[in-house]
Amino acid sequence: MKLAPALCALLLAFQPVASAMPQGNPPAPLTKKQLEAKAKELVAEGKALEKQGKLAEARDKYVDAEGFTSTGDALNGIHRIDDKEKQQVESILSQARTLYETGKFTDSLQQLQKGLEIQPSNPALHYDLALCYANTGDGPNAALQLDLAIDSLPNNKERTELLELRSSIVMGIPAPTFPGDARDNLASFNARFLQEGRDPGENRTQTVESSLCDQIAALKTEFPANPAILFNTAKCTEEAAQPQDAAQQLANYLQATPFALDRADVQVQQQDLASLASLSGVIGQSVQLHFATAARYLDYRHFDRAITEYEAAEQIQPDFAPTEWQLGILYECLGNVTKARQHLQLYQQMETDAARKSAADAHLSTLDDRHDLYEANVEDAEDILSALLLHAMGIDTEGVKHRAKLTKNEQSHASDRYIMTTMATERFSQPYVQRQLGIAQQDVNAALDIFPLGAEANEMLAIIDLQGNNWPAAYRCYDAVASQNFPVSFYAQVNSAHNSKIVRAAKVEIGSDAIRLVYLTSYNEKKQISEAPKESAGEDDLGNLIVSSDQPPDPNAESLVIHPEDLKGISTDKNFVLLKLRKDQLYLAPLNMLSDAPVEGAAARTFGNEYTRMFIRYLGYEQARLGKEGMTAGEKFKLGFEIAEVGLTIGLTIGTMGVGAPAAYSSAVQAVQIMHALNVYNAVSTGVELANQTRQVVNTMRADMTKLEQASNDDQRALSGLEFKIIPTQPVPLKFRDKF
């Protein structure tokens, strides 16, 4: 299980946003001259701070200015500071390298931490910190820093190399050297496991999992003592409903890894399997089978189905305490405090072991406080994200002439339809959007550390991930939303073939049985203004940005519902998703606030394909046609776009790999992350005004560090279970790096 770096932002998220912009969107009531005057004032403040050497504060002022109106002065200021900070980090890395290579690892570590204050998402800084910690024998911090480095890298060879190094550190053993053929076999397993979207659908889940287990069985014959393979064998035997054999394989793993960071977690898993194995007879076998099936569903983030399996086990044998534990923790992860409390209290009544009763108390005694903190983070993120969306979709400027300008590339290459949808979308300055999304992401990550499956936080993080075109991360979040029977959604401009002169901003909701387009505004091409729909779309005018049982999608908003039988097809048309209806065709242009969607070629189709895949994954519309992602023969003679121009990596604040991501879990690393979060809070809390209720909740959680750590650790363990370990295929030299 990948450890979410959200704990690093758990309490930091309560800082007031260092922005001149209030939480709503203030430009609407201001005149153009007023906007320009405010921007000019902020630029002047930024220049003064820049002269004083306060680069971070100066950059923030320039970005604030961009939030009012984009100017060359503000953008130039941002670029100047970015260049200066880059030079500073390069100098720090050079000094740290010298210290590292002379064996002064602690001194090198201190230098690198200074660099993180300037560029907190720089993967080289995190990687080199991991090396320093590894050389000083601090495995938990080394693993944590590798997590952060991995999160900042795309899915490539370097990322896989770091995952293998992390696996070695967690297991506490160096990677052995294998001959070429053997290394290729091990790498083949890693590649299959790391492949995004391994779950091809409801009916084939077990087949895919079996193929991984077939590989493990073959590898175990070849490498019977390899610790990672022993662990993975335990996983396969667990999911084959053989808990006794799985417990024995874990015992073998523990014997082979006496210094493993995940030793305590594995011992808990071993005890749970032994308890499950103690059940006898037909009833016992049935319970074991339900637990095994639930474990497979958790692998593929089908959390609702996992809960159904545990509830079936509960019906068969109501007095088996571990079932109540699993249900209690899963409902807690969902943020369902009522059901979590119900099952955890039942667990306490059934459990005879005093230590395990105490573990349940760590959850029960903090449920309400954590729920309050979760909601506070969600509300903060919603305020920021809503303000951006309201402006981008033209909702907060209804009746005001759009100021969107087309780039030269759009004017020369784009279709009329693309130009129309672009004109219907208002634009904020990219640096401003990037910063605001980063702040919202901090809040959401903090919320997800409290309740990892919370529908509201996952919905927002998915939308943030989409803005950076981080589709795998978005899918992981959407899986959590869909598993609670809520539709997954994205925002788009919609154009109809029947009336190509009208573009309607919409929230696109994809449910398991229908598509729903919730209309937010209409763009009047002649007047170049956005006009309100007949019915306001939800309380927030966004069709209800976040979804939960308390705030479901607005049923009264003006909308169009499309059932699968109404569709003649779904396909990718350049960067559009095309919905072919019986008597019309709808073109969906997904919103990207950070960059323009590519106009044509392979990059455009890649962009559109990811949204088309959402209809396959969540509506189950398997007949959808994807565009060719490679370049056609004709396109090879054109300049075209590189995929990097889509904005694949946008450098938001530290992100998360989410539930089901491939990395070894370790309570030792979790403890380090919690301590880091509290240290961050201590560093920033001086002079920060927090709401009394929020401060009380935060202080309560800080006061009982053990309970906070235990509750978070139990949640992560329940969600990940025995997840496959990456198998180190070759020793990774601990060589200092200046960049990736």
Rounded to whole angstroms, how far apart are CA atoms 184 and 729? 8
Which range of 418-422, 683-687, 693-697, 736-740 scores highest in mean pLDDT? It is 736-740
| pLDDT tens per residue, range 9-62 | 333 333 333 333 434 444 445 788 888 999 999 999 999 999 999 999 999 999
Q: Per CATH, is 410-646 categorized as 2.30.29.30? A: yes
pLDDT per position as a tens digit, 76-89: 999 999 999 999 99
Query: pLDDT class for 733, splitting at 50, 70, 90?
Result: confident
pLDDT at 716 over 60: yes
| The pLDDT of residue 704 | 60
Q: Residues 534-546: what's their mean pLDDT? A: 88
pLDDT digits (tens, 9 = 90+) for 351-405: 998 888 888 998 998 899 889 889 988 999 999 999 999 999 988 888 888 776 6
How confident is the model at residue 602, as a pLDDT? 84
616's tokens? 């396959």
Angle between the 72-101 and 123-135 helix axes, to the nearest 10 degrees? Answer: 20
129 contacts: CB under 8 Å, gap ≥ 6? 109, 112, 113, 116, 141, 145
What integer is the mean pLDDT of 262-275? 93
pLDDT tens-digit readout, 160-201? 899 999 999 999 998 888 888 889 999 999 998 887 554 544
Q: What average pLDDT does this structure show over 408-419?
A: 77
Q: Where are the domains of the chain?
A: 410-646
- Using the CB atoms, write b or e for 383-394: b if 16+ within 10 Å: bbbbbbbbbbbb
pLDDT at 155: 66
Q: pLDDT, tens digit, for every residue of 621-647?
A: 988 999 887 645 444 333 333 333 333
Q: How far apart are CA 243 and CA 343, in angstroms?
A: 23
Q: Residue 658 half-sphere exposure, CB side, CA atoms within 13 Å?
A: 26
Q: What does DSSP say about strands 502-510 and 488-496: parallel, antiparallel, or unpaired?
A: antiparallel
* Amino acid present at 738: D
* Structural tokens at position 339: 């059901």
Q: Average model confidence (pLDDT) for the chain?
A: 83
Q: Are 653 and 444 spatial neighbours (Cβ–Cβ below 8 Å)?
A: no
List Cβ neighbours of 335 (8 Å cut-off, separation of 6 or more). Answer: 371, 374, 451, 453, 454, 455, 456, 548
CA distance 77 to 70: 12
Spell out the SS3 assignment of 518-560.
EEEEEEECCCCEEECCCCCCCCCCCCCCCCCCCCCCCCCCCEE
CB 411 within 8 A of CB 422: no
Average pLDDT over residues 128-146: 93
20 and 30 Cβ atoms separated by less than 8 Å = no
**CA count, 13 A, side-chain hemisphere, 305:** 16
Query: pLDDT above 90 covers what percent of the chain?
Result: 55
pTM of the model: 0.85
Pick 407 or 537 by higher pLDDT. Answer: 537
In this structure, of 161-175, 323-337, 670-684, the range with the lowest mean pLDDT score is 670-684
Determine the pLDDT at residue 525.
83
Show the tokens assigned to 116: 């993180």
Residue 669 pLDDT level (bands cut at 50, 70, 90): low
pLDDT of 666: 55
Q: Are 488 and 614 in contact (CB under 8 A)?
A: yes
Express each pLDDT in 115-136 by its tens digit: 999 998 899 999 999 999 999 9
Quote the pLDDT of residue 181: 87
Determine contact, residues 369/696, Cβ cutoff 8 Å. no
Are residues 564 and 581 in contact, defined by beta-carbon separation less than 8 angstroms? no
Task: Give 57-77 pLDDT, tens digit per residue.
Answer: 999 999 999 998 899 999 999
3-state helix, strand, coil in the chain (%, to 5): 60, 5, 35
CA distance 156 to 147: 15
Neighbours of 211 (CB within 10 A): 12
